Amino acid sequence: MMNRKKFIQSCGMICAGGMGITALLQSCTTGQHFASSEINGSYLHVAATEFTLNKKGEAVDRRYVLVRSEKLNFPIYLYKISALEYSAVWMECTHQGAELSAHGEHLSCPAHGSEFDKLGNVIQGPAQTNLRRFKTQVEGPIIKILLS
């Protein structure tokens, strides 16, 4: 039979372990990178270097970044197709307007389960309309997203 002191110690260890595991799992799943950006006229500017991650002294390419701006209601999912080609889609679900979550090469809606591919095409409903897409162009070290 366990006495009260040992019981409280055991519960404390279990809680501490649970919090540690939760923190570890969250750090594994939050590989999302929010890129710095600047609005200049009709364009949102993102540095191409936002796609480079320094991992243990080695440069590793990210496949996508999330772009937020105080002037935008939702982030933009910017996916690198090639060095000169990017896909930019608005992260607002076309079903009922919830903010989407990025999971690698697809986006999902936490509200009703709609899923979209890296180009904003509907993969699974209830959404029936593709995501809003933005034209992009690369000018030297800057990726420009046309907002209008």
Radius of gyration for the chain, computed over Cα atoms and rounded to the nearest angstrom? 20
27 vs 139, which has greater pLDDT?
Answer: 139
Among 7-16, 27-36, 85-94, top mean pLDDT goes to 85-94
Q: What pLDDT score does 121 carry?
A: 98
CB proximity list for 65: less than 8 A, separation 6 or greater: 33, 34, 35, 46, 50, 51, 78
Asked whether residue 24 carries a pLDDT value surpassing 60, the answer given is: no
Q: Which long-range contacts (CB under 8 A, 24 or more apart) does 117-124 make?
A: 118/64, 118/77, 118/79, 118/87, 119/79, 119/87, 119/89, 120/77, 120/87, 120/89, 120/90, 122/94
Q: How far apart are CA 66 and CA 32, in angstroms?
A: 7
22 pLDDT band (50/70/90 cuts)?
very low
Q: How far apart are CA 49 and CA 62, in angstroms?
A: 10
5 pLDDT band (50/70/90 cuts)?
low
Phi-psi region of 71 (alpha: psi -120 to 50; beta: other; left: phi over 0): alpha
For residue 145, the tally of other CB atoms under 10 A from its CB is 20
Q: What pLDDT score does 2 carry?
A: 61
- CA nearest to 67, candidates 97, 110, 102, 94: 102
pTM: 0.77
Q: How far apart are CA 132 and CA 11, in angstroms?
A: 49
Q: Is 135 helix (H, G, I), strand (E, B) or coil?
A: coil
